[in-house]
Amino acid sequence: MKPPKVKFHDLGLIDYQEAWDLQEVLFNELIEQKRSGVTYPQSHLLVCEHPHVYTLGKSGDATHLLADEVKLHDLDAQFYKINRGGDITYHGPGQLVVYPILDLEQFFTDIHKYMRFLEESVIETLANFGVQGTRIEGLTGVWILGIPPRKIAAFGVKCSRWVTMHGIGFNVNTDLKYFNQIVPCGISDKEVTSLANELTEAVDMAEVKKLLVVSMMNLFGFELI
């Protein structure tokens, strides 16, 4: 059996709403292809960065956004309530954002396995830089162990008819001060970090992007088009 083909989109720095709208279009197109009996509905993989923005998942607590409208304006940051799982998170320049819009029926129908594969792609990418990422039982994400543990990648997905959207926020060269305005993912007793912070120097985003995408290709067994 041939590996599934996934269409790759490198969106660069793109407004959050614009990227969300594109996700919705591709997500709905994929679902419609499945409904109409297309043998191999077209999956997509989007990578990008966003201007400063805070997003709150459908199960999140709005009080975990600590900044008011004036502070958001001062930070030149936007705020959206969105339809993924999870609580509040931050996206901004220097953070690698990955949106897999995949038909999981071409891979496996197990959302927990899907989340573990996303986490594993970040863990494998970190290993290329000599940084050990790990999971913490009961918490979604990739962490660097310490006292306290430091979160380096956050995950939030939506899945309908086994089609996914939203995905990964991986702190590469992220300005971490923006996390001071939220309780990240609703967790107050742990810290946030970035790859640059762990290495004490800026990292080549293009290299990180390539390594992460290759890891996902290997884990899921797809080919890019």
Map out the domains of the chain as residue ranges: 5-224
Render pLDDT for 22-46 as a digit per residue (tens, 0 to 9): 999 999 999 999 999 999 999 999 9
Strands 223-224, 5-13: pairing is parallel
Tokens in use for 179? Answer: 């996390």
The DSSP result for the chain, as a single string, is -PPPEEEEEEEEE--HHHHHHHHHHHHHHHHHHHHTT-SS--EEEEEEE-SSEEEE-TT--GGGB---HHHHHHTT-EEEE-SSSSSEEEE-TTEEEEEEE-BGGGT-S-HHHHHHHHHHHHHHHHHTTT---EEETTEEEEEE-SSS-EEEEEEEEEEETTEEEEEEEEESS--GGGGGGB-GGG--SSEE--HHHHHTS---HHHHHHHHHHHHHHHHT-EE-
Q: What per-residue confidence (pLDDT) applies to 136?
A: 94
- Domain 5-224 belongs to what architecture? 2-Layer Sandwich (3.30)
Tokens in use for 36? Answer: 């109409």
CA distance 151 to 6: 29
Quick one: pLDDT band at residue 183, thresholds 50, 70, 90? confident
State the pTM of this model.
0.94
Q: What per-residue confidence (pLDDT) applies to 42?
A: 98
Render pLDDT for 143-166 as a digit per residue (tens, 0 to 9): 999 998 999 999 999 999 999 999
Please, what sign has the CA dihedral across residues 52, 101, 85, 176?
negative
Round the CA-based radius of gyration of the chain to a whole number and report it.
Answer: 17
Residues with catalytic function: 185
